[in-house]
């Protein structure tokens, strides 16, 4: 049976399925011909020098067809696109062209007209093609995309394919594919001027994202009816109508913190927008509820719906109101709308301004807040093409304000957005009665908590109860809060505060100085022991502003003052205590931004109302809850900690959110969250479940690995481990199991529960340390373990007399004898020599000979790990490299040459001897080497400037043609030289 390959199992199948749904296949050879490759050379870089990213003839033909008044020539058209910067801004500009929003100057009409590139109304007028092995070379780097989809000669979608047999869990191969997409962005960004979407697949998963956004949390798995069915996924995601919809409607650019970001709407967002558009054209039904769980992207769903409503031709210049529930969102919403190219956007910042816009029949998008409808006259505008999109609809349309809104605009269509589940206690009332009356289930579209967790849109939440002596007596909590009818179904934190103000005894208990001091000490210890070692941040939620002040003063006794900051709204008539912690707007913005950043203070925010809704800080992991809450307010609050977070540089991937309950709310979870049981079960789980998971792994999985240790981690054990884990599949499975155990340990520790497992976990960690050191591609490993595990290993390092795997040996004339005399197995020697060569090259990076030697050592390692070389053969090849290095140092000294000249001399000598009919003396080689060195020095910026790089390469190539007759060998030699010298520069 033949071994599966990337092309057989994935690439060829995608090409087949794409053809079956209407994409025309263009072979690699035909595509390169149409792109203008130079076929006179066998070298791919040389052939690509004249190439285009586009099928230029087809593109120009379609432009002339769609734009009869376009008079520019083909080269001028292509220059329009090639002049765009190869960055996210150039990509944004190209998307405008793809949406037919770019312009050209029409001489006949003496004005700018829209340049039509795609006919969205008549799909048959477009040409849809697919090709493979799509190569691009920019003079410095060359990369090849597996599959590219083109519309009218423009590449818009790239697919990176991987072999499904590469890894055990299919996670590794997808990660490799996404890493390649990231590398393409860095090395050949020209690809991603026109290309808008990328996908990565190993035939089972099918991940997708937008170019210029390769952050893992913004890359999604395309869901289809059949798991693992590649055909179904290709035929749904890559269908012509779906790709056209993505390009035309469902990609957006938005600014955040003065930085441009690009996003693609996920399936649930697209479905919701499509439902809204369908409802907006319904002549009878005028209400709808979008029920998407907290953190699932409701804001961008609203923005896209507003844009598409505004542009819908059948709606005849409508008015769209976006009702936001927080002041700070208004400016951000307006900025994002305008970034979409919508100029008809108004900010109704006052009641008078809102009335003026509606009375004057304004057509466009109005951003405002619900309270600005207070006392509005009835029937201020009776048009039926008015559409109201209401954020947090479960709380913003209650009472008189909702009545004013609906009386003022009686014929409008109302679409409510909520992130909270159905109330058991208020089923059929409130939000669902207001917005769900036209739908059988009470909602137009639903995206549940459990769905979002499965998709990775949000994270699961775990809770733990604080010690009994700190919690509110349950009888008191139940009497003064949980059992109060008015406390049920509260959706606004201001209403919650009014109820708590009446609970005088409960508040007095919560704010007693002795209790606050105990909790502050507990929080300080818990944060420094449990949360800070994970590098995350926390909220402390107090019952009111006075309690916040008490907590700040108490926390400062146990933590440095810069660790915590209070954020609340100040009033002029506040007490001296409260005024002590007032913040101006600028300072608050700085604090909020710093809190979202890794490594910056503050680490704990003390809050009571502000920031409990709408504030997204993915790095927020823990919430210390000391404020009675329930239902909507509880769910909205704890949802602050469910946002995914990752920091690739630090290998941080947030596993879940955590709530430490000082109230006792979660003691009776079914009473605290009066929602349908299916929703409640998906919301929050007891931390004991993680303990059970750790226990299971330590008792079932880990013992099998520990059996490999026979001699208390002596040199024989180390060598045997290296031999056993040469198999990459075994290594990946081991690393996966260890990292899962490590994460659980980090979350649970410190805890007495762990005591029976400490010894085995320490041994398991030691085994991981050996394998990580042996097989890591990095030379230096600053953080092999997370902090708690690192402390455990360091504190108990005496337990194991570990033979060092990363024992760096100095590479010199004594190395060979030292290796032969050294105790230990050959596997350990192979690993140590490879690491030593790499480290020597790192430290002496100005010597390109050593860089090239390290490259050869990597090749030996690859052959060793794949068992193409026996251990003894790998060891001998490495020793030969070291001997060659010593020999060359002697020759270099004799010739009195610097490192660069000598390196060039040896490369020339090797190539010219094998390719030239002429005979050369060593002095002639040296002379050529010196000339090349002079060229590099004259073009000193070649390693940082593409233009300088091209000039330097061209001059070096011309110089080599004087001595080497074979053009392909010249090209290969130039590529090799610049590759090694570029690495040398990067390491300096």
* pLDDT over 70 (residue 789): yes
Task: Answer for the pair 245, 419: CB distance below 8 angstroms, yes or no.
Answer: no
The closest of 668, 684, 682, 626 to 483, measured between CA atoms, is 668
User: Residue 597: its pLDDT value, please?
Assistant: 93
User: 461-685 falls under which CATH superfamily?
Assistant: P-loop containing nucleotide triphosphate hydrolases (3.40.50.300)
- Measured torsion, CA atoms of residues 190, 192, 193, 194, in degrees rounded to the nearest 10: 120
* N-to-C CA span, the chain: 48
Residues 566-586 have pLDDT tens digits of 999 999 999 999 999 999 999
Task: Give the DSSP H/E element, type plus range, for residue 338.
Answer: helix 327-339
> Per DSSP, which regions of 487-639 are E strands?
537-541, 564-566, 604-607, 620-625
Per mean pLDDT, which of 443-447, 536-540, 735-739 is the most reliable?
Answer: 536-540
The values of phi and psi at residue 921, to 5°, are -85, 160
Which residue reads 């997204």 in tokens? 616
pLDDT at residue 397 tops 70: no
For residue 900, pLDDT over 90 is answered with no
* Of 348, 337, 463, residue with least CA distance to 405: 348
What distance in Å separates the CA atoms of residue 448 and residue 606, rounded to the nearest whole number? 30
* Average pLDDT score over residue span 472-476: 91
pLDDT of residue 91: 97
Average pLDDT of span 412-435: 68
Residue that wins the pLDDT comparison between 178 and 44: 178
What is d(CA 903, CA 898) in angstroms, rounded to the nearest whole number? 9
pLDDT of 42 reads 63
pLDDT for 502 beyond 70: yes
What does the chain come to in residues? 988
Query: Do residues 479 and 628 make contact, with C-beta atoms less than 8 angstroms apart?
Result: no
- Residue-level pLDDT at 827: 82
Cβ–Cβ contacts within 10 Å for residue 222, how many? 19
What gap in Å lies between CA 423 and CA 426, rounded to an integer?
5
**For residue 913, is pLDDT > 80?**
no
pLDDT at 319: 96
Cα separations in angstroms, 747 against 464, 536, 743, 782:
12, 11, 6, 21
CB-based contacts of 11, cutoff 8 Å, min separation 6: 132, 146, 147, 161
Is the pLDDT reported for residue 171 higher than 70? no
Nearest in space to 481 (alpha carbons), one of 672, 693, 704: 672
Q: Which residues of 524-559 are buried (b: 16+ CB within 10 A; e: fewer)?
A: bebbeebbbbbbbbbbbbbbbbbbbbbbbbbbeebb
CA distances from 462 to 317, 353, 681, 683, 747 (A): 48, 46, 11, 9, 11
Q: Which residues pair with 259 in a beta bridge?
A: 256
| 895 vs 85: CA distance, rounded Å | 47
Q: What is the pLDDT of residues 688-704, one digit of tens each?
A: 889 999 999 999 999 99
Instruction: Fold for 265-455, please state it.
Output: Rossmann fold (3.40.50)
CB 982 within 8 A of CB 943: yes
Give me the helices (H) in 529-638, please. 545-555, 576-579, 585-595, 631-638
pLDDT in tens, 330-365: 777 777 787 776 778 999 988 999 999 999 999 999
Q: What pLDDT does residue 169 have?
A: 33
Among 428-437, 471-480, 883-892, the least confident range: 428-437
Q: Which residues contact 860 (CB under 8 A, 6 or more apart)?
A: 834, 869, 874, 877, 878, 881
Give pLDDT, residue 168. Answer: 32
Q: Could you give the CA distance from residue 234 to residue 239 in angstroms, rounded to a whole number?
A: 7
Tell me, what's the pLDDT at 914? 54
* Angle (CA) 142 144 150, round 5°: 125
Indicate the burial class of 582 (C-beta count within 10 angstroms; 0-12, 13-18, 19 or more).
Answer: middle
**Which among 269, 303, 286, 311 has a CA at the least distance from the CA of 387?**
286
291-325 burial code (b ≥16 CB/10 A, e <16): bbbbbbbbbbbbbbbbbbbbebeebeebbbbbbbb
pLDDT of 988 higher than 60:
no
Question: Could you report the per-residue pLDDT of 276-322, keeping only the tens digit for each?
Answer: 999 999 999 999 999 898 888 888 999 999 999 998 989 989 999 99
| Strand stretches in 22-127, DSSP E | 24-26, 103-106, 111-114
The pLDDT assigned to 401 comes to: 64
pTM of the complete model beyond 0.75 = yes
SS (H, E, C) 339-355: HCCCCCEEECCCHHHHH
Supply the pLDDT for residue 426. Answer: 43
pLDDT digits (tens, 9 = 90+) for 582-601: 999 999 999 999 999 999 99
Tell me, what's the pLDDT at 601? 97
762 phi and psi angles, rounded to 5 deg: -65, -45
More confident residue, 239 or 955: 239
d(CA 804, CA 807): 5
Asked whether 849 and 885 are in contact (CB, 8 A), the reply is yes
How far is CA 519 from each of CA 525, 540, 624, 657, 658, rounded to the nearest angstrom? Answer: 10, 10, 9, 20, 17
pLDDT of 462 above 60: yes
Better-scored residue on pLDDT, 124 or 837: 124
pLDDT exceeds cutoff 80 at 77: yes
Task: Specify whether the CB–CB gap between 481 and 678 falls below 8 A.
Answer: no
Decide: residue 798, CB within 10 A, 0-12 exposed, 13-18 middle, 19+ buried: exposed
| Rounded percentage of the chain residues whose pLDDT exceeds 70 | 89
- In tens, the pLDDT along 108-141 reads 999 999 999 999 999 999 999 999 999 999 888 8
Residues 934-968 have pLDDT tens digits of 988 888 777 766 677 778 888 888 888 887 877 77
Q: What is the pLDDT of residue 492?
A: 74
Of 525 and 215, the one with more pLDDT: 525
What confidence tier does 400 reach under pLDDT thresholds 50, 70, 90? Answer: low
Q: What is the pLDDT of residues 594-652, one digit of tens each?
A: 999 999 999 999 999 999 877 889 999 999 999 999 888 888 899 899 999 988 777 78
CB atoms within 10 A of CB 672: 25
DSSP secondary structure letters along 825-890: -HHHHHHHHHHHHHHHHHHTTT-HHHHHHHHHHHHHHHHHHTTSS-HHHHHHHHHHHHHHHHHHHH
Give CA separation, 822 vs 803, 807, 834, in Å. Answer: 12, 12, 16
Mean pLDDT, the chain, as a whole number? 86
Backbone angles phi, psi at 629, to 5 degrees: -145, 165
pLDDT over 90 at 224, yes or no: no
Contacts of 113 (CB under 8 A, 6+ apart): 67, 69, 103, 104, 106
Q: Which two tokens stand for residue 433?
A: 């009665």
Query: In Å, how far are 68, 71, 80, 988 from 108, measured between CA atoms?
Result: 11, 9, 20, 58
Q: What is the spatial distance between Cα 725 and Cα 717, in angstroms, rounded to a whole number?
A: 12
Which pLDDT band holds residue 483 (cuts at 50, 70, 90)?
Answer: confident
Q: State what percent of residues in the chain have pLDDT above 90.
A: 47
Angle between helices 946-961 and 967-987 (to 10 degrees): 140
Is pLDDT above 50 for 809?
yes
Average pLDDT over residues 91-110: 95
Cβ-contact 28, 15 below 8 angstroms: no
The 10 Å Cβ neighbour count of residue 708 is: 13
């Amino acid at each position: 049976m033949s071994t599966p390959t990337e092309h057989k199992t994935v690439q060829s199948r995608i090409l087949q399925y794409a053809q079956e749904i209407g994409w025309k296949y263009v072979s690699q050879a035909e595509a390169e011909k149409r792109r203008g490759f130079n076929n006179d050379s066998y070298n791919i870089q040389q052939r690509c020098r004249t190439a285009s990213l586009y099928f230029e003839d087809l593109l120009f033909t379609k432009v002339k067809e769609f734009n009869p008044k376009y008079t520019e020539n083909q080269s001028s058209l292509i220059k329009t696109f090639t002049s765009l910067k190869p960055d996210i801004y150039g990509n944004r500009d190209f998307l405008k062209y793809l949406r037919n929003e770019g312009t050209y100057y029409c001489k006949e009409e003496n004005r700018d007209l829209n340049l039509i590139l795609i006919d969205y109304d008549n799909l048959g007028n477009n040409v849809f093609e697919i090709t493979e092995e799509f190569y691009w070379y920019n003079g410095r780097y060359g990369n090849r995309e597996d599959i590219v989809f083109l519309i009218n000669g423009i590449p818009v979608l790239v697919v990176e394919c991987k072999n499904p047999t590469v890894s055990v869990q299919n996670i590794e191969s997808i990660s490799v594919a996404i890493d390649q997409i990231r590398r393409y962005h860095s090395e050949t960004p020209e690809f991603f001027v026109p290309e808008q979407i990328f996908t990565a697949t190993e035939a089972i998963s099918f991940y997708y994202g937008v170019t210029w956004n390769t952050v893992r949390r913004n890359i999604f798995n395309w869901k289809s009816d059949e798991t693992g069915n590649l055909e179904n996924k290709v035929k749904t995601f890559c269908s012509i109508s779906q790709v056209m919809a993505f390009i035309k409607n469902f990609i957006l650019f938005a600014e955040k913190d003065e930085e441009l970001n690009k996003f693609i709407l996920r399936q649930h967002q697209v479905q919701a927008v499509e439902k809204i558009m369908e409802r907006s054209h319904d002549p009878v039904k005028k209400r709808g509820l979008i029920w998407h769980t907290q953190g699932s992207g409701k804001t961008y769903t609203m923005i896209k719906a507003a844009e598409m409503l505004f542009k819908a031709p059948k709606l005849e210049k409508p008015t769209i109101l976006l009702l936001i529930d927080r002041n700070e969102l208004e400016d951000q919403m307006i900025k994002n709308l305008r970034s979409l190219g919508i100029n008809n956007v108004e900010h109704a910042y006052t009641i008078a301004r809102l009335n003026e816009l509606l009375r004057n029949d304004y057509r466009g998008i109005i951003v405002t807040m619900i309270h600005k409808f207070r006392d509005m006259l009835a029937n201020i505008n009776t048009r039926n093409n008015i559409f109201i999109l209401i954020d947090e609809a479960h709380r913003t349309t209650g009472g008189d304000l909702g009545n004013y809104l609906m009386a003022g605009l009686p014929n409008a269509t109302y679409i409510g957005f909520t992130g909270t589940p159905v109330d058991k206690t208020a089923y059929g009332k409130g939000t669902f009665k207001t917005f769900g009356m036209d739908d059988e289930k009470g909602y137009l579209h639903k995206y549940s908590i459990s769905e979002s967790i499965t998709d990775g849109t949000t994270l699961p939440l775990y809770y733990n109860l604080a010690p009994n002596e700190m919690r509110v007596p349950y009888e008191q909590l139940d009497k003064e809060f949980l059992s109060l009818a008015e406390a049920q179904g509260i959706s606004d934190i201001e209403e919650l505060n009014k109820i708590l103000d009446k609970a005088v005894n409960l508040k007095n208990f919560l704010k007693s100085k002795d209790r606050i001091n105990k909790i502050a000490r507990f929080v300080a210890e818990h944060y420094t022991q449990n949360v800070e070692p994970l590098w995350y941040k926390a909220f402390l939620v107090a019952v009111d502003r006075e309690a916040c002040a008490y907590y700040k003063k108490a926390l400062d006794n146990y933590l440095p003052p810069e660790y915590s900051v209070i954020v609340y709204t100040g009033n002029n008539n506040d007490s001296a205590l409260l005024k002590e912690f007032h913040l101006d707007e600028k300072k608050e913005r700085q604090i909020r931004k710093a809190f979202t950043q890794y490594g910056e203070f503050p680490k704990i925010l003390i809050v009571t109302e502000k920031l409990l809704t709408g504030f997204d800080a993915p790095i927020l992991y823990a919430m210390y809850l000391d404020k009675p809450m329930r239902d909507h307010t509880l769910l909205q609050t704890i949802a602050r900690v469910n946002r995914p977070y990752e920091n690739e540089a630090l290998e941080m991937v947030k596993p879940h959110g955590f709530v430490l309950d000082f109230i006792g709310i979660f003691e009776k979870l079914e009473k605290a969250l009066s929602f349908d049981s299916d929703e409640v079960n998906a919301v929050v789980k007891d931390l004991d479940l993680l303990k059970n998971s750790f226990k299971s792994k330590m008792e079932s999985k880990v013992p099998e690995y520990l059996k490999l240790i026979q001699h208390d981690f002596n040199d024989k054990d180390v060598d045997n481990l290296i031999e056993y884990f040469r198999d990459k599949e075994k290594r990946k499975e081991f690393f996966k199991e260890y990292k899962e155990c490590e994460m659980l340990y980090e979350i649970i520790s410190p805890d007495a529960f762990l005591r029976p497992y400490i010894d085995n976990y320490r041994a398991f960690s030691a085994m991981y340390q050996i394998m990580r050191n042996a097989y890591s591609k990095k030379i230096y490993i600053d953080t092999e373990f997370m902090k708690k595990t690192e402390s455990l290993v360091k504190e108990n390092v005496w337990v194991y007399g570990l033979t060092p795997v990363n024992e760096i040996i100095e590479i010199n004339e004594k190395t060979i004898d030292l290796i032969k005399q050294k105790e230990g197995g050959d596997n350990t020697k192979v690993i140590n020599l490879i690491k030593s060569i790499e480290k020597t090259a790192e430290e002496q990076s100005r010597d390109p000979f050593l860089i090239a030697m390290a490259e050869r050592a990597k090749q030996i390692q690859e052959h060793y790990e794949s068992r193409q070389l026996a251990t003894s053969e790998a060891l001998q090849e490495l020793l030969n490299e070291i001997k060659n290095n010593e020999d060359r140092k002697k020759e270099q000294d004799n010739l009195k040459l610097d490192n660069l000249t000598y390196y060039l001399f040896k490369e020339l000598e090797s190539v010219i001897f094998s390719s030239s009919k002429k005979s050369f003396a060593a002095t002639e080689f040296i002379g050529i080497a010196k000339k090349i060195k002079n060229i590099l020095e004259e073009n000193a910026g070649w390693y940082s400037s593409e233009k300088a790089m091209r000039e330097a390469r061209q001059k070096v190539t011309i110089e080599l043609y004087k001595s080497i007759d074979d053009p392909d060998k010249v090209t290969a030699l130039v590529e090799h030289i610049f590759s090694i010298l570029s690495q040398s520069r990067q390491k300096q």
